[in-house]
Structure 1
Amino acid sequence: MSRTPLPTVAYGKLRYLFVGAILLVLAAATVFLKISTTAGSVAAVIYIVFLIWVVVQIGLAIADRPRFATGPDTPDGLTIAALVPVYNEDVPALRGCLEGFLTQTRRPDAVAVVNDGSSAELDYSAVRDWFLRECTTLGIRAHWIDQVNSGKRHAQIAAMRREPDADIYLTVDSDSILDRNATREAMKAFADPEVQSVAAVILSTNYRSSLLTRMMDVFTVGLQLFERSAFSRLNSVMVNSGGCAFYRGGVIRDNVELYLNETLAGRRVNFSDDSLLTLFALQRGKTVQQPTAFAFTLMPAKFSHHVRQQLRWMRGSFIRSGWRMRFLPMTGAAYWLHMMKWIAYGTMTSTLIMLVVTGKLLNPWMLASGMLAAVALYVLTAFRYLAVVRSDQSTAQRWLTFATAPLAAIWGLTFLRVLRWYAMATVLNLGWGTRAVVEVRADS
């Protein structure tokens, strides 16, 4: 099988973004102050506090810097084992994922692939034989395990048990493609012995498939380079993306039983594995994002798949919130950052309800200006999307995709907000909810 060209990523210059960012801050602040005079004193205080909270996060995100190998540990001396659970994955997408390991500037020492009972119609034999052969040539320990369907967490642990002594575990989804420098860049953060996990920045491979995939590419990248970067500045990343994350070996090894047997109201939790691993890491030390480590993944191109994915993420987020409040130490920044998120969400939701009940939201000026201010703030938080220069995306395509940011903001403020309420109300629906068959293909 011939090798396929894999995308690469770099950061462009940020200077040309500053003028636009400043203008958006001024515009949002002006509109918020105008809304305050219309909505009343309570709403005014809430809006102003929320604006300050967003600006603080933007400042922290901008202040976040890549981690460098300056600590007492030597990252190059740490062994890396990649864990790859596979379930009903598109064959070319899986090949792209595996090839990403082979082309790394710092290759993993081992890769364990677990086919978790995929449909018999999917023939991975050619990919398996090619991958095992290539790993032998490159000196990478390779494992391929076929098992009955047991779920993603069980597949990851089965892979981990093939490499029980690894210093670092790299977790990926089976459609993830690592940028060629992803492992090398992420490992730099482990020079600090207190760092327990490192999140990569996840980009959409199929961002051009539809308006939905463009919107969600901006939405997810903006969130990673805004909120996650802000929390990373304080060594308190809450959720690593399943698409690519790195953990100290003990984070997974010491929590196997709890990881495999998490329950809610007597029912087994089958999703939110990445947020649980990040919580384990937070309990042990620092959790950071390395903004120079990138990976690509396939995003849902169809509305139905998008809804099921979002519901799974939202239910997992709601479940994990309770765990964080219970188990994170109050002396750490993570606890208070998490508390501030819920306070901001609760107060803004309450204010919205109050404006609806009092009829003030029906005021055309209030409705239009409020939406304008919210969209302006969101676009501001997503501005750093323009700094990510991808080999598979021209400058024109980057700007065209970023132009969907206002739509992504409206989508998040309306449909996804209501969907989150539904997810909270149906939190006991703990099934995986996606990928009974191949849902997104690499050629999309």
Structure 2
Amino acid sequence: MKSLFIGSQLAIIIVKFAAYHDLSNLLILLLVLVDFFLIYLLFKQYLSFRYKSIENIPENPLSVSVIIAFYNEDPKILKRCIQSVLDQTITVSQVFVYDDGSDSEVAYQTVTEYFQSERLHFNRNSKNKGKRYAQVQMLKQLEADIFVILDSDTILEKNAIEEGLKPFMDQTVFGVSGNISALNQNSGLVSNLYGNLLSKSFSYERAAQSVIDSVLVASGMFSLFRKDVIEGRYEHYLNLREDGLNLSADDKRLTTYAIEQGRVLLQSTAMAKTVIPEHSSKFLKQQVRWARGFFSETLYSLKIISKQRWAWWFSLFDIIMWLCLPLTIVFLVIVNPQTIILHLIFYELLYILLVLVGRSRNNMTISDSVLLPAMKLAHIFALFPIRLFAIFTLSSNTWLTRGSYLVKSESTPG
């Protein structure tokens, strides 16, 4: 499989190196590899400290449409999602809501009976055809300059879309990711841990990528794109299947389209809250689905994005790091534990120093600065088995987390 190509080639290089050199040289090679990726993590943290949101207001008002595809959604959460769109500080010209063949019609009937706004357009498939199909049916009806992708379990802050439009005053910006936090973070251990990881993925990962004008995934929970990003590409977007793989990450594909044409930024002031899994089984299913999209779409983006862009190199480093770093560290701990532990301690100290120097430009506490580097490595290790499973099941293409409600509405505040 092509998704294994990079990792397998690296493994072959290491095996050949070990065959013709003594073990000490192999250890040096692996330590250099580990140090490279630890420096890469430090570099991204440095970039995240340089991030600033866009504050200027667009001179020419842009029209906006919102598309919401849902499948087996909790009716109460769906109502709150739609209401948050209607309550925005700027007027949204069109709101498309599409039921992709949910098992029950309750959610669809609930929102069609409750909302009477002329801006709302409802539709329903009799059977599930996939999220991309639902999105394309809505995208083809767009009349606005900008379209918003919104998950059906995401609740917008009142000024979220207004803030999200600010970067588009620059004609070179084609995509903007909103800033997402967990709606139900305090509902249990799983949601608490995941909520922290979700928050850091925006304040650290996407903030760093935004500084280089290339957020690699404008989150499908809440993101904005110019209409030009998708226009004329509906069939290509609908048939995301290459080399026998289902390329399921619709948000990453849209982001890749946008990076092809210009800049993709994070707007940290465009805030929203989303429902996250409260149970390990649903969390694991969601992570498998995201991991499939991560690998397949990263391989696609490496073909499409110019090597002159930082986005290409970040994509390459990320996919190699996720595949190789955990195994390399484990191997070194077994073979030469003292050396690798010293390297990790040195990384921790450098990280803390970097955070302390940059604290004036972020809101991290001292405890955050100590724990975050360890959390990042733990995150890479914890998700490694999930990502391996995802690689071997790339041909699967299901919603996965939507066999039933992600959580019950009673679990969410508000």
1:133-152 equivalences under 5 Å are 135-136=117-118, 141-148=119-126, 149-152=128-131
Q: For 2:185, what is the secondary structure of its paired residue?
A: coil
Q: For 2:88, what is the secondary structure of its paired residue?
A: coil
Give the whole-Å Cα distance in 2 for the aligned partners of 1:330 and 1:424.
25
Contact 2:175/2:264, CA 8 A, preserved across alignment: yes
Q: TM-score, normalised by structure 1?
A: 0.77
What 5-or-longer segments of structure 2 have no aligned partner? 1-23
Shift of 1:413: 3.6
- Matching residue's letter, 2:229: V
Q: Which residue of 2 aligns with 1:19?
A: none
Contact 2:351/2:369, CA 8 A, preserved across alignment: no
Q: TM-score, normalised by structure 2?
A: 0.82
Contact 1:213/1:301, CA 8 A, preserved across alignment: yes
Match for residue 153 of structure 1 among 128, 132, 157:
132
1:75-114 equivalences under 5 Å are 75=60, 77-114=61-98
Do the aligned partners of residues 344 and 328 (structure 1) sit closer, same or farther apart at CA in structure 2, a change above 3 Å counting? same
Match for residue 64 of structure 1 among 51, 71, 79:
51
Q: Which residue of 2 aligns with 1:424?
A: 391
Shift of 1:158: 1.6
Q: Which residue of 2 aligns with 1:45?
A: 32
Q: Would you say how many aligned residue pairs link Structure 1 and Structure 2?
A: 382
Give the whole-Å Cα distance in 2 for the aligned partners of 1:181 and 1:46.
44
Match for residue 330 of structure 1 among 304, 307, 312:
307
**CA-to-aligned-CA distance 1:233-279 (integer Å, 9 cap, x gap):** 1111111111100010121222110111111334654x311001101
- Matching residue's letter, 1:431: T
Contact 1:201/1:294, CA 8 A, preserved across alignment: yes
- Matching residue's letter, 2:255: T
Contact 2:72/2:404, CA 8 A, preserved across alignment: yes
Q: Which residue of 2 aligns with 1:234?
A: 212
Shift of 1:439: 2.8
Do the aligned partners of residues 268 and 184 (structure 1) sit closer, same or farther apart at CA in structure 2, a change above 3 Å counting? same
- Matching residue's letter, 2:398: G
Q: Which residue of 2 aligns with 1:441?
A: 408
Work out which structure has the larger RCO, using CA pairs closer than 8 Å and 6 or more positions apart in sequence.
Answer: 1
Q: For 2:56, what is the secondary structure of its paired residue?
A: coil
Give the whole-Å Cα distance in 2 for the aligned partners of 1:179 and 1:400.
29
**CA-to-aligned-CA distance 1:160-183 (integer Å, 9 cap, x gap):** 233x32100001110110111111
Give the whole-Å Cα distance in 1 for the aligned partners of 2:373 and 2:262.
37
Match for residue 168 of structure 2 among 180, 187, 190:
190
Contact 1:215/1:401, CA 8 A, preserved across alignment: no
- Matching residue's letter, 1:152: K
Counting aligned pairs with the same residue, the percent is 29
- Matching residue's letter, 2:79: R
Give the whole-Å Cα distance in 2 for the aligned partners of 1:433 and 1:414.
23
Give the whole-Å Cα distance in 2 for the aligned partners of 1:58 and 1:403.
13
Do the aligned partners of residues 200 and 399 (structure 1) sit closer, same or farther apart at CA in structure 2, a change above 3 Å counting? farther
- Matching residue's letter, 1:307: L
What 5-or-longer segments of structure 1 have no aligned partner? 1-36, 390-397
Contact 2:276/2:406, CA 8 A, preserved across alignment: no
Give the whole-Å Cα distance in 1 for the aligned partners of 2:38 and 2:286.
30
1:5-44 equivalences under 5 Å are 41-44=28-31
Determine whether 1:414 maps to 2:392.
no
Determine whether 1:125 maps to 2:109.
yes
Q: Which residue of 2 aligns with 1:264?
A: 242
Q: Which residue of 2 aligns with 1:209?
A: 187
Q: For 1:351, what is the secondary structure of its paired residue?
A: helix
Do the aligned partners of residues 201 and 378 (structure 1) sit closer, same or farther apart at CA in structure 2, a change above 3 Å counting? farther
Give the whole-Å Cα distance in 2 for the aligned partners of 1:54 and 1:402.
14
